[in-house]
Structure 1
Amino acid sequence: MTVSKRTTIIILALVALFFAFTLHHASWRADAPKGGPRLVADRGVAPVLGNDGCVSAANAGYGAVAVGPDLAALQLAAGAGAQAIRIPLESEGRRLVPARQFESRCAADLAQPRPDVAATAYSLSRPDLFWQAKGAAEARALLAALPPSEPRHMLIGDDAAVQAARAERPAMRAFTITAARKCAADYRASLLGSVPESCTNGVMLLTLDDLGFTLWGWPNRFLDRMAKAKTMVIIAQSVEGATIKGLTEPSQYGEIAKDFNGYIWVDKIEELGPALRR
């Protein structure tokens, strides 16, 4: 069977287009990013109780003073290798406090006042903190309690909380899970690898299933594009509705490029934190 000249030209043009497209997104066209991954603990770590059934200063893996069960759980997460921690919030009367991290039956623990936002931030001076807020009032109360110029404080929330945070503190990284997922979808739809407006100065939330060839330029050229657009990248195991599901197995690290230098959301920091350092 003979192939017409026109068909040959079309085939060659398609092959050339494919190679040009592949070259445009080739990972090696960008240097490997600096730094390593930053683990986000989805929650605190249950402290080991003393003989009296209470949380003691010796149980805390981070910090030098005796704390109640909630702060101890968060400090242990930082001590287990978390460079960032998610802290959901709730109201206790007129105070904004972290949601319960650990339920203690010890009377001495329960007698201690729950830490507010300011005390929690002070006690966790090293890790980045992803505060999870609902509504504009909660977001404004959060910002009022935080230092004004610490980029390590970020906000996850609903639309009202994010809009309030951006209005009062434009430099703060504030995002909804829906918007972060839209950024990922918009980038994959761009084909040419241009960073969409939904990602610029924003957050991209990826799952393990998103990684690969169609994440244009993955890993190095993709990460270079995100860095230039000031887009923060988070990888999780999955996203279910408004909930980020963190990695649960150390083997899942192998699905992520070794040069990745963004955030990795993990479920059990006490197991996955030490596993990454091996």
Structure 2
Amino acid sequence: MRGRKILGGVVVIAGAVYLLNASWLAAPAGNDSPRIIAHRGVHQTFSHAGVDAETCTASRIDPLTHDFMENTITSMRAAFAAGADVVELDVHLTPDKVFAVLHDWTLDCRTDGHGVTEQTPWPTLKTLDVGYGYTADGGKTFPLRGKGVGLMPRLDEVYAAFPDRSFLVNFKSRRTEEGEALAALINIDPKVRAATFGVYGGEEPTRAAEAAVTGLKGFDKSSLKACLVAYEAYGWTGFLPGACRNTLVALPIDIAPYVWGWPNRFMKRMRDAGSDVILVGPYGGDFTTGIDTPELAAKIPPGFDGYVWTNRIETMGPLLKVTDPVHRH
């Protein structure tokens, strides 16, 4: 008798958990296609195998199919033309208080300059060739050398070039000063505020910017972990952790099926909490892997109303921006 009661209790609890997290009980948003974040704009792709913080990715690019260089205004324009809703870019605050847009911590890999990017004055950065270090054949040829002279933009130049577009700003450092400086830029110009989709990267500048700009969303590794770990612990109850509210949630596509209520119930919970979900590529320890193949795109749920992160906007944009999701799958 006692065993039956225990079994009955387990069945009741299991049923309650199921109903609380049944995706089919929450309607999808019904979007025709997802919104897209183009990582670094249209850029030269490379193998991620064995990549770490010290890897010079410009020295291991795939064979060229175009001449665009990451983080340049021309690459951003091409990304928006290919269907990007948001372009991700990387910033460094220089000694003369300019936000230079470049991915690398140092100049030696990608450019003809030397030294730490954030320690180099803007007049020097502006003269560099951002296509100098690209090679797809181990240094035998450098097909973009000479084509990137003067193409490193300032962040304010990017905003001016695309007044009606959106950007996700990546802080490459952990300097609180960077977040405060970006917040000052955002707070004095409503157009810049409207164009700033969010911030992420270094914990200190990300949180400083969020604190100083009302409604600005962002994430760093610690905040993302706090959200997802707590959600897996008790999100099944329908109660959303504070770390998941009014934020950006980067969710690897291979982990997504295992979060409570995926996809519809999970997305509704995040939407109701004022948070945006960004589907990124398979988990690899960072946020840079993207939805870069038709096979991965096929795993995006129909009606998904979040954002999709891609490194190949030039090919994935036309694929994802279809009006009939059946054709995507």
What is the TM-score of this pair, normalised by structure 2? 0.69
2:118 is the counterpart of 1:121: no
Unaligned runs of 5+ in 1: 48-58, 62-68
Bigger strand fraction:
1
The offset of 1:242, in angstroms, is 4.4
2:42 is the counterpart of 1:45: yes
Partner-residue secondary structure (3-state), 2:180? helix
1:84 touches 1:130 (CA, 8 Å); kept in 2? yes
Q: 1:14 to 1:172 in 2, by over 3 A?
A: same
CA distance in 1, matches of 2:253, 2:77: 28
Q: How many residues align?
A: 254
- Counterpart in the other structure of 1:84: 86
CA distance in 2, matches of 1:83, 1:256: 17
Instruction: Choose 92-101 or 73-82, whichever is displaced more.
Output: 92-101
1:187 touches 1:193 (CA, 8 Å); kept in 2? no
Q: Which of residues 135, 152, 169 is equivalent to 1:131?
A: 169
Q: Which of residues 255, 258, 268 is equivalent to 1:210?
A: 255
Q: Which of residues 3, 9, 12 is equivalent to 1:7?
A: 3
1:123-168 deviations in whole A, cap 9, x for unaligned?
2234421111122222233333343441643111312102321332
**Matches of residues 257-268 of structure 1 in structure 2 within 5 Å?**
257-268=301-312
The offset of 1:91, in angstroms, is 4.2
Unaligned runs of 5+ in 2: 45-65, 104-109, 111-129, 132-143, 323-329
Q: Which of residues 242, 258, 273 is equivalent to 2:317?
A: 273
1:41 touches 1:265 (CA, 8 Å); kept in 2? yes
The offset of 1:20, in angstroms, is 2.1
Q: CA RMSD in A?
A: 2.8
CA distance in 2, matches of 1:42, 1:165: 21
The offset of 1:257, in angstroms, is 1.1
Instruction: Choose 227-236 or 93-102, whichever is displaced more.
Output: 93-102
CA distance in 1, matches of 2:208, 2:35: 27
1:166-197 deviations in whole A, cap 9, x for unaligned?
33213211321331233122111113131101
Partner-residue secondary structure (3-state), 1:138? helix
- Counterpart in the other structure of 2:100: 97
2:255 touches 2:283 (CA, 8 Å); kept in 1? no
Point out the structure with max Rg over C-alpha: 1
- Counterpart in the other structure of 2:288: 244
1:41 touches 1:84 (CA, 8 Å); kept in 2? yes
1:216-235 deviations in whole A, cap 9, x for unaligned?
12211211111111122111
1:42 touches 1:85 (CA, 8 Å); kept in 2? yes
CA distance in 2, matches of 1:38, 1:85: 11
Amino acid at match of 1:37: P
Partner-residue secondary structure (3-state), 1:260? coil
Calculate percent identity across the aligned residue pairs: 26
